């Protein structure tokens, strides 16, 4: 499970970086670098490659999330403490709590 957790964290960071690299609607990626987006990612632009990379990273992220969630629920069902049957013991008079007697004031004459 340690390997899946490490892969999950790595995919989380990769997914964040991939989404941040993508340009918004109408924005050009190359504008931030002083050129056009076609010179950075080729003639087809960045959207084809980054979209596919985002999809792959999202699928891996979802699979690792499901595996980790399933594994944590399986571990929670195995308890370290063994359950013991409940024993009913009748209360004896010595075990009944006694309420303290509050002294009553004497009536005035």
Q: In the chain, how many domains are there? A: 1
Q: Which two tokens stand for residue 57?
A: 């990273």
Q: Is residue 11 part of a domain?
A: yes
- Report the predicted TM-score, pTM, of the whole model to 2 decimal places: 0.52
Is the residue at 10 inside a domain? yes
Q: What is the DSSP string of 27-69?
A: --GGGGGTS-HHHHH-TT-SHHHHHHHHHHHHHHHHHHHHHHH
Residue 46 falls inside a structural domain: yes
Answer whether residue 49 shows pLDDT above 70.
Answer: yes
pLDDT in tens, 60-101: 999 999 999 999 887 666 655 566 666 666 666 665 566 677
Look up tokens 């069902």; give the residue. Answer: 77
Q: Which domain holds residue 55?
A: 2-77
């Amino acid at each position: 499970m340690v390997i899946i957790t490490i892969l999950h964290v790595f995919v989380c960071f990769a997914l964040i970086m991939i989404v941040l690299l993508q340009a918004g609607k109408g924005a050009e990626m190359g504008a931030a670098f002083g050129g056009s987006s076609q010179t950075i990612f080729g003639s087809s632009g960045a959207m084809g490659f980054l979209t596919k990379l985002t999809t792959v990273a999202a699928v891996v992220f979802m699979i690792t999330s499901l595996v980790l969630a399933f594994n944590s629920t399986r571990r929670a069902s195995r308890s370290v403490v063994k359950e013991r049957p409940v024993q009913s013991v009748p209360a004896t008079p010595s075990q009944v709590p006694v309420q303290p007697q509050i002294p009553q004031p004497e009536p005035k004459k």
